[in-house]
């Protein structure tokens, strides 16, 4: 046997034991799950190659980590083992073939989501919850009974028809939205963020002070039970657990339902659905679990090492990897904002090579203590722009460098400023800065703004570089001869562009207002401003108080609008846009039943989704705001309403339940069809 293999085996075992301790005990890993799996698979391959080096203490044969000091020890009735992982269709088919070969007959499977949480065991005696424990090292776990009692998903008492002695196993997890809030709170306190919801759940549950756990919204997802009567299949186990009070959250996507399948082809088809729609789940799932359905077959198959032969976890492509932050570059946005961008050592995440990631702003860099040269944990989930979750400080060498935002614009060399109350630093070059003008042109021509077809990034850049466009108004004074001077721009292209520019003059005032790119004035705010002031002249003469009377417009947006109209250059642009014939005033609109009324939605709605509710309200003239202020006319409170409900009650803002909202919508719709003048009863429960 080569000495190199023996040394690598020893090194891998040592590294994996260290990573297990950081993952299971400290809830603070320094490598991603994908990298851990890579190390573990490499060790497995080497141990298969050299069976004479087998050790029962190897990380391939054990699960978890030793008990943390401060917790009592619990011996599990049966070992809490982990699942074998599959990362390809071939590995899943190999699992299926092996199961059928060992059993000698066809098998059915259950399909369950692999919830990315902390595995725990719950024991009931005389139908009362008396002991809860972590997985620990698989044989022994930590007694966290008091902490688990703070979870609303875990019943303290089972129904009278339940068996006297029951054990339930499952995952404790944290919803993604709650994870984001928890990390924000930690960063604000100067504490290190959790790497992902799983580590946040583990760190929250394994607290020596149960009050800390009680303050965090943890949930429980059951996946196994023993001591149940008359049960012969895994599917029956899951169904029985629901009957005992272990309920799953309402409103989950349909593909998460317990499923029975006849063959492995059905499992592979379901995996594609799981992977494509995983972003719809409010908590993290990192794969799909395939289990032999028959408990008799499970018993016959047994275990190998630390894993059952009758189940496998088909893992999604990783969304997190660690890599090196090589540099931080600064890009200039259309409003002049300086946006730091991480330049990374290229790394493949979920089948895509990632070499850049968002860093948001200088405060975020400082809060997370991110430095050039750091090893960093990078995340790419769905279509979200890759972002740096956290630096791996334990891997610092002392060569890392602190980052500072530049005092001069990297494009036009103008001074940069950071205004009080703003997170971003801005270039003062205005439209003299080519970077801003190019981005403003792209925004102005965008589909949601002036919808000028054929005006993309490359053409915008060419128009600015050739000095054909030095303000957005110049677009409307272009001619065919000047366009033909552009490289690779023929007569057909020129005709198409000019036709599209001419057509854009028909866009309504609200779209023109949005297209101007006034900082902090988005599409919805532009619509409300257009409807309130009716023309660009009246908007330009509005005072701070006038502006703040518009729904959704606060001091920050008002100040931004005043600054925009106070610039002589912007006034010149508006005059030229008026000369070009753009719509700078709002057409008279039909009065609607809920015109001007401000609604805020909170909690979970049962009869329709929030976007559906918002769409129906806005169609009747209402303003739907995400922020509750004393100016709101109604708060619509769904299930599990939080602090907004308490604020509304203390401020005297009328509160509507979902049924009351439905009644109001139906009555308003009916009234609108028969009469344009409708009076809405401004009442609700308070």
Which residue in the list 114, 315, 527, 644 is annotated as catalytic?
114
Which residues in 65-87 are b (16+ Cβ under 10 Å) and which e?
A: bebeeebeebebeeebbbbbbbb
114 labelled catalytic: yes
3-state helix, strand, coil in the chain (%, to 5): 40, 20, 40
Token couple for 200: 């946040």
- ∠ Cα 246 251 252 (to 5°): 75
Token couple for 23: 């993952």
Q: Answer for the pair 134, 67: CB distance below 8 angstroms, yes or no.
A: no
Query: Strand order of the sheet with strand 218-226?
Result: 128-134, 118-125, 165-174, 218-226
Phi, psi of 529 (to 5 degrees): -65, -45
119 to 81, 221, 669: CA distances (angstroms): 10, 9, 50
SS3 state of residue 59: coil
**Paired residues of 342 in beta bridges:** 328, 357
Q: Answer for the pair 205, 172: CB distance below 8 angstroms, yes or no.
A: yes
Token couple for 316: 């999604």
330 to 196, 362, 423, 645: CA distances (angstroms): 27, 11, 15, 42
CB contact set of 477 (below 8 Å; sequence gap of 6+):
576, 580
DSSP states along 545-588: HHHHTSTT--HHHHHHHHHHHH-HHHHHHHHHHHHHT---BPPP
What's the burial of 501, exposed, middle or buried (CB within 10 Å: 0-12/13-18/19+)? buried
| Dist CA 168 CA 225 (whole Å) | 4
Q: Answer for the pair 472, 444: CB distance below 8 angstroms, yes or no.
A: yes
Q: Answer for the pair 174, 202: CB distance below 8 angstroms, yes or no.
A: no
Token couple for 117: 């949480």
Residues assigned a catalytic role: 114
């Amino acid at each position: 046997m080569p000495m190199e293999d023996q040394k690598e085996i020893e090194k891998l075992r040592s590294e994996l034991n260290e990573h297990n301790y950081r993952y299971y005990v400290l809830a603070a890993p320094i490598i991603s799950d994908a990298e851990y799996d890579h190390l573990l698979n490499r060790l497995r391959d080497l141990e298969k190659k050299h069976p004479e080096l087998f050790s029962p203490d190897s990380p391939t044969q054990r699960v978890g980590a030793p008990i943390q000091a401060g917790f009592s020890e619990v011996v599990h009735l049966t070992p809490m083992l982990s699942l074998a992982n599959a990362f390809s269709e071939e590995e899943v088919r190999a699992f299926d073939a092996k199961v059928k070969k060992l059993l000698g007959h066809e098998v059915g499977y259950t399909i369950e989501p692999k919830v990315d949480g902390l595995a725990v065991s719950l024991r009931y005696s005389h139908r009362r919850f008396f002991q809860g424990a972590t997985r620990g090292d698989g044989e022994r776990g930590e007694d966290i009974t008091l902490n688990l009692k703070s979870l609303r998903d875990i019943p303290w008492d089972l129904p009278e028809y339940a068996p006297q002695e029951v054990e339930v196993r499952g995952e404790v997890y944290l919803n993604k939205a709650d994870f984001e809030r928890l990390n924000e709170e930690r960063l604000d306190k100067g504490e290190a963020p959790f790497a992902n919801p799983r580590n946040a759940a583990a760190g929250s549950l394994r607290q020596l002070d149960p009050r800390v756990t009680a303050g965090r919204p943890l949930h429980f997802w059951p996946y196994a039970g023993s001591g149940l009567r008359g049960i012969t299949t895994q599917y029956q186990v899951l169904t029985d657990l629901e009957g005992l009070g272990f309920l799953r959250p309402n409103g989950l996507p349909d593909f998460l339902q317990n499923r029975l399948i006849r063959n492995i082809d059905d499992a592979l088809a379901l995996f594609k659905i799981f992977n494509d729609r995983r972003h719809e789940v409010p908590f993290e799932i990192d794969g799909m679990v395939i289990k032999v359905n028959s408990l008799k077959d499970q018993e016959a198959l047994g275990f190998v090492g630390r894993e059952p032969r009758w189940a496998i976890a088909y893992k999604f492509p990783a969304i997190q990897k660690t890599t090196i932050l090589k540099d931080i570059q600064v890009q200039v946005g259309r409003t002049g904002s300086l946006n730091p961008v991480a330049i990374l050592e290229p790394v493949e995440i979920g089948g895509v090579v990632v070499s850049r990631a968002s860093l948001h702003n200088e405060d975020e860099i400082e809060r997370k203590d991110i430095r050039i040269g750091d090893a960093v944990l990078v995340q790419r989930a769905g279509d979200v722009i890759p972002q740096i979750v956290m630096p791996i400080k334990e891997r610092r060498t002392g060569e890392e460098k602190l980052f500072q935002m530049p005092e001069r614009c990297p494009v036009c060399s103008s001074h940069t400023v950071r205004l009080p109350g703003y997170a971003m630093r801005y270039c003062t070059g205005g439209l003299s800065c080519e970077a801003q003008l190019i981005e403003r042109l792209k925004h102005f021509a965008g589909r949601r703004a002036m919808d000028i077809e054929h005006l993309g990034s490359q053409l915008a850049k060419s128009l600015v570089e050739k000095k054909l466009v030095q303000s957005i108004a110049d677009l409307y004074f272009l001619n065919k001869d000047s366009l033909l001077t552009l490289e690779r721009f023929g007569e057909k292209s020129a005709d198409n562009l000019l036709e599209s520019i001419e057509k854009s003059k028909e866009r309504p005032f609200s779209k023109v207002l949005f297209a101007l790119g006034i900082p902090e004035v988005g599409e919805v705010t532009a619509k409300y401003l257009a409807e309130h002031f009716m023309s660009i002249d009246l908007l330009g003469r509005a005072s701070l108080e006038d502006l703040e009377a518009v729904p959704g417009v606060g001091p920050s947006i008002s100040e931004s609008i005043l600054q925009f109209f106070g610039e002589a250059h912007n006034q010149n642009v508006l005059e030229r846009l008026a000369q070009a014939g753009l719509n700078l005033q709002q057409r008279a609109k039909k009065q609607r039943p809920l015109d001007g009324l401000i609604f805020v939605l909170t909690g979970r709605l049962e009869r329709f989704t929030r976007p559906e509710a918002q769409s129906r309200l806005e169609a009747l003239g209402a303003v739907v705001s995400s922020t509750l202020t004393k100016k709101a006319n109604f708060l619509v409170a769904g299930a599990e309403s939080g602090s907004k409900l308490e604020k509304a009650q203390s401020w005297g803002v009328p509160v509507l339940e979902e049924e009351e909202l439905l009644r109001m919508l139906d009555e308003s719709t009916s009234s609108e069809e028969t009469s344009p003048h409708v009076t809405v009863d401004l009442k609700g429960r308070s």
